[in-house]
Amino acid sequence: MKFWQAIIGPAVTLLLGGLLTVWLVRQAPGYGTDPSELDGRWSAESIARLRAERQAHQNAWQLYAAYLKGMAHGDLGASLAWNRPVAPLLGERGLVTLRSSGLAVLLGWAGAVLVALACRFRAAPFVDATSRGAAAALLCLPSPALALVLCLAFRASVPQLVAGAVTGLAIFARVLLPSSTVLSAVEAEPHVLQARARGVPAARLVIWHVFRCAAPALLSLLAASVPVAFGIAVPVETVCNLPGAGQLAWLAAQKRDLPVLTALTFALMAITLVSTGIARAWSWSGPELAERRAA
């Protein structure tokens, strides 16, 4: 069972996700058409040759099998829209997104956890109400709209800073309420109530008895925030005109660039599976579970 969960399960998920991407792109309206056919300078023979070449790539199974064969040799194909190999294109754009959103995810998650801790154990009703109201407002406000407001405020001079700020605020809004729920549940555990009754200092109570037990669930929230950050990056980078992986996904979808979309799907699914696997491994080594296994 462990082997299935650790190796075979993620591999099957990746393969099925890639196949679904290929099938969906092929079903998109306008797939397989070429604007060159509208050029009156092309002869009938040239247009027939173009159609024959496209017809050879209409079978989703054959397309996917050829793609997997190339990927096994380190070849992710060539972009149809950018006329470049996909691997370096994805690497360049991915670094931009990592620089703009990587630290923002961590800061947004850490800020939400710290605010939740302060509200739970410092009895700060004003901070609690303000933070919950801000989180609700951020959840209701679309990320592209927030990005547009910040771009106008900064006159689009720092698109990476704007994209990072929007990502951090969005992660903060999504993590605050679940983290508060997790901490509230741990706070009601018998060992926490017993420690509080014994007069354990507040700092030790929070760090040793509450945060340590809640860390696996909080880390799972951090892992779940990683793919969410990429979903936020797609519209935000498009609005900010930031040449990252999110903007690349948007443009590739518009241009029906199948090699780029397939590579992005594999990359995002791999990141999601790895981050989730790390969270599961960390939670399995948590103190409570270790005691249960020992018992």
Torsion of CA 37, 38, 39, 45, to 10 degrees: 30
pLDDT of residue 63: 73
Give the number of other CB atoms < 10 A from CB of residue 169: 22
What's the pTM value of the predicted model, to 2 decimals? Answer: 0.74
pLDDT of residue 256: 79
Rounded Cα–Cα distance for residues 186 and 206 (Å)? 10
Taking every pair of Cα atoms in the chain, the longest distance, rounded to a whole number of angstroms, is: 89
Q: What are the tokens at 248?
A: 């690349």
Instruction: Please report, for the chain, the start and end positions of each structural domain, with discontinuous segments joined by +.
Output: 20-72, 86-294
Instruction: Select 86-294's CATH number: 3.30.450.20, 3.90.580.10, 1.10.10.10, 1.10.3720.10.
Output: 1.10.3720.10
pLDDT of residue 294: 39
Residue the block writes with tokens 């996917």: 64
Task: Please state the φ and ψ torsions of residue 41, each to the nearest 5 degrees.
Answer: -80, -15
pLDDT of residue 3: 52
pLDDT values of the chain reduced to their tens digit, one per residue, 295 residues: 455 556 676 777 777 877 777 777 776 666 655 555 555 666 667 666 666 665 555 566 777 777 778 777 777 888 878 888 888 998 899 998 988 888 889 899 999 988 888 877 666 677 778 888 888 888 888 888 888 888 877 765 678 888 888 889 999 999 998 888 888 888 888 877 887 788 877 777 777 878 888 888 888 888 888 888 888 888 888 888 889 999 999 998 888 787 888 888 888 888 887 777 776 666 555 544 444 433 4
Rounded Cα–Cα distance for residues 212 and 188 (Å)? 14
The 3-state secondary structure of the chain reads: CHHHHHHHHHHHHHHHHHHHHHHHHHHCCCCCCCHHHHCCCCCHHHHHHHHHHHHCCCCHHHHHHHHHHHHHCCCCCECCCCCCEHHHHHHHHHHHHHHHHHHHHHHHHHHHHHHHHHHHHCCCHHHHHHHHHHHHHHHHCCHHHHHHHHHHHHCCCCHHHHHHHHHHHHHHHHHHHHHHHHHHHHHCCHHHHHHHHCCCCHHHHHHHHHHHHHHHHHHHHHHHHHHHHHHHHHHHHHHHCCCCHHHHHHHHHHHCCHHHHHHHHHHHHHHHHHHHHHHHHHHHCCHHHHHHHHC
pLDDT of residue 1: 47
Give burial (CB, 10 Å; 0-12/13-18/19+) of 22: buried
Rounded Cα–Cα distance for residues 239 and 62 (Å)? 36
Q: What are the tokens at 246?
A: 């999110």
Sequence letter at residue 70:
G
Asked if 218 contacts 182 with a C-beta cutoff of 8 angstroms, the reply is yes
